[in-house]
């Protein structure tokens, strides 16, 4: 559980530090001119970005717990490591490219260069779908090599972790899909700018999660 | 009253005026309707949970008397009762119900920031309740694995509901967590980003603080339950061995190998302990407001109360293994978890002192919400003190599998939060319904519930000390259980039934008062917080009419010296009525 504790420790420490900073030097029983003028938003950003950051904290908690379970369970003597297919390296490269392209598209959207947004979004989505298909092929390779979920728990963890990561990716693709449709049906980049910015953050997050998971799978 | 125009800061709240009956009451995106949907559903499933407890209490109090209860369904009733009360009643009611109702009204917002997701949340919750109830009607019935669902027995032959019951239970929990996450993202974001002008974090009522922190805990802790539910579903359905060791079940060798049941316990309690505070923190917050309003005094030590909520939230993540002393652990770990458990008593005790000091020299009005709030201070202190016993490894080991533990956690996270739930419903009933409830019936309800709870749980501590084990269907003849304990067991069942029946008074009062109650004033308790200052009662869609309120002071300006009234609403500027110490008098 150390890994979960470290992750949650960081998240909780950030929350507590932030809350204490907000609340420390205040005397609510005294009327303060600055307080009266406060506009009621604690963070200078959109509500959707706050919701995304909160969701990323939740998703981090999920992955940290899976990783903790993995590290605890692998101590048991029946653990037989999986020989990860080489294809995973290619998939990782594809996901990195997807993240880069998404970032490039985001920059275009922020600067209002509509001509770059359309192809950018399309390529980023296509690369992500390619990654997911690649993961599926890796599953089939493992399965045909005899690594079944019920024969050893290391195999089960491999399928479980990759599936949970892919599900998060699919959730992202749902938002990607709606902004892509908008862009292709004539909406200008300004109307989807926020969505693209948030998706970029989410893609980077999922890339980071994948690199951590892949590293863990490879090294154990 | 000062207001600021909609144009000032309303751009991020969607507007969605309901047109038809369906969009107004069924697929509603209004946080107040969603809150009531959450509340009604949670109370309904809570009544089911109570019915289940009445049935197994009948068996415990009068063994071999009732044919309709046998060892299998006894276990199913106990398990489902526990899960319903902890997750589907209390979590859903405090966060989905009160969170939804109170957050936007108390912070001066028109609605939650994501109304559509809010609507999805309540319907996904409804789906989880349906799946849970369905488990009673599938072949084999609901799971009888205990509410903690420990493997290996939860998915091994011989446990009731091992086929579909456990699958539906785990599925229902996963669906519930999805619903909670959608709601939780809304509560956190709304509190952080959608407060009205002048409503700084430190001017928020403690109810909002409690709900806010509990939501953060829920968002970080429920994933542990999700992860363990998914892995157990894999073990059950795909034959993996995350938790299942090599073993014999019903005389047959299973296909599992090497799994770790203790890993499940770690994951479960990593959720399970913060869950206690997910239920307790909103109760702490709400009870602070009830005491302050009905004692006509500012809450004692507001800042300390906020920091105690934050500290309890942080500490609640590092005490989980005190539920696992009997599972065996390194003595140093036991020492660590006992220490952290006892440390958490510090901020908690601080809150209790502050509640008592709020009452000190207050102008106490013993109305129904106040009775429930004071009742809570008693039961919570009581449950907290027995927690100090159980937090110590050496005392916990002999007591862990006895009724002492049952009595402890029912006092601290059963009776106490439920008293707050009732107090809160009575307190905000005039706002939600626009009518007053019947005061006399409310008092009957309080005294029957409060005294009933004591007559049920005090003797339970005693039989726990005698060593009577929990979870057993029938004790049979044992040396350690004297006749007096057997008689007590029957008396406890009678108390439980009296409590159960007295809830009918509550239901009758709530339902009849909807039509026949006296019309309520918009602010019947003369309270200061924003929800009592809405232009309409009950508040209409959008809460505030054309203009959002502007806040000039905290929510606890009661009995300010020199002020004409004994309460000063949050919207009154400081130049009209001085704020607390601005007046030169320590409040």
Region B307-313: mean pLDDT is 95
The reported pLDDT for the residue numbered B205 is 97
A81: Cα separation from own chain's centroid: 26
Region B147-166: mean pLDDT is 94
Residues from chain A contacting residue B12 (CB–CB below 8 Å): 46-47
Which tokens sit at A203?
Answer: 């893609």
The alpha carbon of residue B268 is apart from the nearest alpha carbon of chain A, in Å, by 11
The CA angle B264-B265-B267, to the nearest 5 degrees, is 65
Least confident of B161-175, B250-264, B323-337, B470-484: B470-484
Facing A50 at nearest CB: one of B189, B259, B270: B189
Residues from chain A contacting residue B578 (CB–CB below 8 Å): 31
Region A162-191: mean pLDDT is 92
The pLDDT of residue A55 is above 90: yes
- Under DSSP, is residue B550 helix (H, G, I), strand (E, B) or coil? coil
With left for phi above 0 and alpha for psi between -120 and 50, is residue B573 left, alpha or beta? beta
Which of B193, B213, B576 best probes binding to A when mutated, by most A CB atoms within 10 angstroms?
Answer: B193
Residues 6+ apart with CB under 8 A from B455: B491, B492, B495
- B196·A40 Cβ contact <8 A: yes
The reported pLDDT for the residue numbered B8 is 46
Region B233-261: mean pLDDT is 93
* A-B Cβ pairs (cutoff 8 Å, strict): 185
Q: What is the pTM of this model?
A: 0.95
Instruction: Indicate the pLDDT class of residue B581, thresholds 50, 70 and 90.
Output: low
Residues 6+ apart with CB under 8 A from B206: B284, B285, B286, B288, B289, B299, B302, B305, B306, B309
The alpha carbon of residue B303 is apart from the nearest alpha carbon of chain A, in Å, by 8
Which of A2, A13, A15, A19 best probes binding to B when mutated, by most B CB atoms within 10 angstroms?
Answer: A19
Facing A8 at nearest CB: one of B199, B220, B574: B220
- A20·B263 Cβ contact <8 A: no
Instruction: Indicate the pLDDT class of residue B584, thresholds 50, 70 and 90.
Output: very low
The pLDDT of residue B68 is above 80: yes
Q: What is the pLDDT of residues B174-215, one digit of tens each?
A: 999 999 999 999 999 999 999 999 999 999 999 999 999 999
Residues from chain B contacting residue A1 (CB–CB below 8 Å): 266, 270
Residue of B nearest to A20 (CA): B307
Facing A23 at nearest CB: one of B199, B202, B258: B202
Measure the N-to-C terminal CA separation of chain B; round to a whole number of Å: 24
- A160·B234 Cβ contact <8 A: yes
**Could you give the CA distance from residue B195 to residue B107 in angstroms, rounded to a whole number?**
5
Residues 6+ apart with CB under 8 A from A49: A194, A197, A198, A201
Facing A153 at nearest CB: one of B108, B258, B314: B258
**Could you give the CA distance from residue A67 to residue A186 in angstroms, rounded to a whole number?**
43
Facing A51 at nearest CB: one of B189, B196, B223: B189
Q: What is the pLDDT of residues B11-52, one digit of tens each?
A: 444 455 666 888 888 899 999 999 999 999 999 999 999 999
Region B226-240: mean pLDDT is 96
**Could you give the CA distance from residue B22 to residue A52 in angstroms, rounded to a whole number?**
30
| Residues constituting chain B | 587
**Could you give the CA distance from residue A182 to residue A190 in angstroms, rounded to a whole number?**
11
The alpha carbon of residue B545 is apart from the nearest alpha carbon of chain A, in Å, by 19
Residue with tokens 């997050």: A205
Which tokens sit at B113?
Answer: 């920031």
pLDDT mean across residues, chain B: 93
The reported pLDDT for the residue numbered B29 is 93
The alpha carbon of residue A163 is apart from the nearest alpha carbon of chain B, in Å, by 12
**Could you give the CA distance from residue B214 to residue B237 in angstroms, rounded to a whole number?**
33
The reported pLDDT for the residue numbered B18 is 65
**Could you give the CA distance from residue B164 to residue B187 in angstroms, rounded to a whole number?**
34
Least confident of A164-168, B13-17, B153-157, B266-270: B13-17
| A-proximal residues of B, 104-133, CB under 8 Å | 107-108, 113-114
Residues from chain B contacting residue A150 (CB–CB below 8 Å): 238-241, 255
- A41·B193 Cβ contact <8 A: yes
Count other Cβ atoms within 10 Å, centred on residue B129. Answer: 21
**Could you give the CA distance from residue B254 to residue A169 in angstroms, rounded to a whole number?**
36
Which residues of B205-329 form beta strands (DSSP E)? 248-249, 252-253
- B242·A30 Cβ contact <8 A: no
Instruction: Indicate the pLDDT class of residue B582, thresholds 50, 70 and 90.
Output: low
- B201·A20 Cβ contact <8 A: no
**Could you give the CA distance from residue A87 to residue A34 in angstroms, rounded to a whole number?**
58
The reported pLDDT for the residue numbered B15 is 53
Q: Are B109 and B103 in contact (CB under 8 A)?
A: yes
- A36·B552 Cβ contact <8 A: yes
DSSP B84: I
Facing B581 at nearest CB: one of A19, A29, A62: A29
**Rounded to the nearest 5°, which phi and psi values hold at B503?**
-70, -20
The reported pLDDT for the residue numbered B7 is 39
The reported pLDDT for the residue numbered B187 is 97
- B234·A61 Cβ contact <8 A: no
Which of B192, B228, B255, B577 best probes binding to A when mutated, by most A CB atoms within 10 angstroms?
Answer: B192
Which of A31, A62, A71, A150 best probes binding to B when mutated, by most B CB atoms within 10 angstroms?
Answer: A31
Which tokens sit at B33?
Answer: 């309707």
Facing B219 at nearest CB: one of A23, A46, A54: A54
What structural domains does chain A harbor? 1-73 (no CATH), 82-220 (1.20.120.80)
Which of A2, A14, A18, A36 best probes binding to B when mutated, by most B CB atoms within 10 angstroms?
Answer: A36
Q: What is the pLDDT of residues B441-476, one digit of tens each?
A: 999 999 999 999 999 999 999 999 998 999 999 887
The reported pLDDT for the residue numbered B4 is 47
| A-proximal residues of B, 501-560, CB under 8 Å | 550-554, 556-557
Instruction: Indicate the pLDDT class of residue B401, thresholds 50, 70 and 90.
Output: very high
Distances (CA, A) of B42 to B129, B172, B191: 9, 15, 23
Q: Are B238 and A149 in contact (CB under 8 A)?
A: yes
The CA angle A139-A144-A146, to the nearest 5 degrees, is 100
| Residues constituting chain A | 220
Higher pLDDT, B15 or B340: B340
What structural domains does chain B harbor? 3-12+27-240+260-583 (1.20.210.10)
Residue with tokens 């069942």: B493
Which tokens sit at B571?
Answer: 């919207």
The alpha carbon of residue A184 is apart from the nearest alpha carbon of chain B, in Å, by 25
| A-proximal residues of B, 317-376, CB under 8 Å | 317-318
Q: Are B539 and B188 in contact (CB under 8 A)?
A: no
**Rounded to the nearest 5°, which phi and psi values hold at A186?**
105, -5
Is B263 an interface residue toward A (CB < 8 Å)?
A: yes
| A-proximal residues of B, 173-192, CB under 8 Å | 181, 184-186, 188-189, 192
Percent helix, percent strand, percent coil in chain B, to nearest 5: 65, 0, 30
The pLDDT of residue A209 is above 70: yes
B190: Cα separation from own chain's centroid: 21
- B263·A77 Cβ contact <8 A: no
The reported pLDDT for the residue numbered B9 is 47
The reported pLDDT for the residue numbered B479 is 78
**Could you give the CA distance from residue B385 to residue B215 in angstroms, rounded to a whole number?**
26
Residues from chain A contacting residue B197 (CB–CB below 8 Å): 36-40
DSSP string covering B350-376, please? HHHHHHHHHHTT------HHHHHHHHH
């Amino acid at each position: 559980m150390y890994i979960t504790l470290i992750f949650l420790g960081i998240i909780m420490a950030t929350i507590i530090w932030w809350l204490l900073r907000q609340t420390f030097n205040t005397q609510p029983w005294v009327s303060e001119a600055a307080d009266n003028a406060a506009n009621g938003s604690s963070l200078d950003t959109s509500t959707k970005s706050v919701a995304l950051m909160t969701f990323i904290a939740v998703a981090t908690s999920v992955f940290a717990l899976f990783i903790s379970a993995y590290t605890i369970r692998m101590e048991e003597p029946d653990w037989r490591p999986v020989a990860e297919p080489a294809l995973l390296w290619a998939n990782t490269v594809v996901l990195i490219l997807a993240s880069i392209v998404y970032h490039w598209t985001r920059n275009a959207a922020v600067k209002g260069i509509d001509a770059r947004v359309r192809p950018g979004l399309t390529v980023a989505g296509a690369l992500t779908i390619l990654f997911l298909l690649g993961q599926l092929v890796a599953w089939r390779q493992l399965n045909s090599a005899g690594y079944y979920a019920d024969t050893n728990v290391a195999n089960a963890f491999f399928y479980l972790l990759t599936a949970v990561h892919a599900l998060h990716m699919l959730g992202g693709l749902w938002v990607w899909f709606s902004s892509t449709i908008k862009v292709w049906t004539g909406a200008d980049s300004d109307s989807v700018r926020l969505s693209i910015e948030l998706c970029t953050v989410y893609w980077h997050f999922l890339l980071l999660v994948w690199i951590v998971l892949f590293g863990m799978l490879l090294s154990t | 009253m000062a207001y600021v125009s909609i144009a000032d800061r309303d751009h991020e709240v969607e507007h969605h005026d309901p047109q038809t009956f369906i969009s107004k009451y069924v697929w509603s995106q209004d946080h107040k309707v969603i809150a009531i949907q959450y509340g009604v559903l949670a109370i309904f499933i809570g009544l089911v949970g109570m019915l289940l407890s009445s049935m197994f209490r009948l068996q415990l109090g009068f063994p071999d008397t009732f044919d309709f209860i046998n060892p299998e369904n006894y276990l199913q009733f106990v398990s489902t009762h526990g899960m319903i009360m902890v997750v589907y009643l209390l979590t859903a009611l405090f966060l989905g119900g009160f969170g939804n109702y109170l957050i936007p009204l108390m912070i001066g917002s028109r609605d939650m920031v994501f109304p559509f997701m809010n609507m999805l949340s309540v319907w996904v919750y409804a789906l989880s309740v349906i799946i849970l109830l369905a488990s009673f009607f599938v072949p084999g019935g609901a799971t009888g694995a205990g509410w903690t669902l420990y493997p290996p027995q939860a998915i091994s032959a011989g446990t009731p509901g091992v086929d579909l019951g456990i699958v539906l239970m785990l599925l229902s929990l996963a669906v519930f967590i999805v619903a909670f996450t959608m709601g939780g993202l809304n509560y956190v974001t709304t509190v952080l980003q959608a407060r009205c002008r002048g409503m700084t974090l430190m001017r928020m009522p403690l109810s909002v603080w409690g709900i806010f922190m509990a939501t953060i805990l829920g968002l970080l802790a429920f994933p542990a339950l999700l992860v363990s539910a998914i892995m157990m579903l894999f073990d059950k359905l795909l034959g993996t061995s995350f938790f299942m060791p090599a073993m014999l079940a019903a005389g047959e060798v299973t296909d599992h190998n090497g799994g770790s049941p203790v890993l499940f316990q770690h994951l479960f309690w990593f959720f399970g302990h913060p869950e206690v505070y997910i239920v307790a923190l909103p109760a702490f917050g709400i009870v602070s407001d009830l005491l302050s309003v009905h004692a006509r005094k500012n809450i004692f030590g507001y800042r300390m109360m906020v920091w105690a909520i934050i500290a309890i939230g942080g500490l609640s993540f590092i005490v989980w293994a005190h539920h696992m002393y009997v599972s065996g652990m390194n003595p140093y770990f036991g020492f660590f978890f006992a220490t952290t458990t006892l440390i958490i008593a510090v901020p908690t005790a601080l809150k209790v002192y502050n509640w008592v000091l709020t009452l000190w020299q207050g102008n106490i009005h013993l109305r129904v919400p106040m009775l429930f709030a004071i009742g809570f201070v008693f039961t919570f202190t009581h449950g907290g003190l027995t927690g100090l016993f159980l937090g110590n490894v050496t005392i916990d080991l002999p007591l862990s599998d006895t009724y002492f533990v049952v009595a402890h956690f029912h006092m601290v996270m059963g009776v106490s939060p439920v008293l707050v739930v009732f107090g809160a419903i009575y307190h905000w009933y005039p706002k939600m319904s626009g009518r007053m409830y019947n005061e006399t019936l409310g008092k009957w309800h309080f005294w029957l519930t409060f005294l009933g709870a004591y007559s049920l749980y005090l003797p339970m501590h005693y039989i726990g000390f005698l060593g009577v084990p929990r979870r057993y269907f029938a004790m049979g003849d044992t040396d350690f259980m004297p006749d007096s304990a057997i008689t007590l067991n029957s008396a406890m069942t009678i108390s439980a039934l009296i409590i159960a029946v007295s809830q009918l008074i509550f239901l009758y009062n709530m339902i009849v008062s909807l039509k026949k109650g006296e019309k309520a004033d918009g602010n019947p308790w003369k309270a200061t917080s924003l929800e009592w200052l809405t232009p309409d009662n009950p508040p209409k869609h959008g809460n505030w009419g054309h203009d959002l309120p502007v806040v000039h002071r905290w929510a606890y300006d009661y009995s300010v010296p020199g002020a004409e009234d004994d309460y000063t609403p949050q919207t009154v500027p400081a130049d009209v009525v001085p704020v607390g110490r601005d007046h030169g008098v320590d409040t």
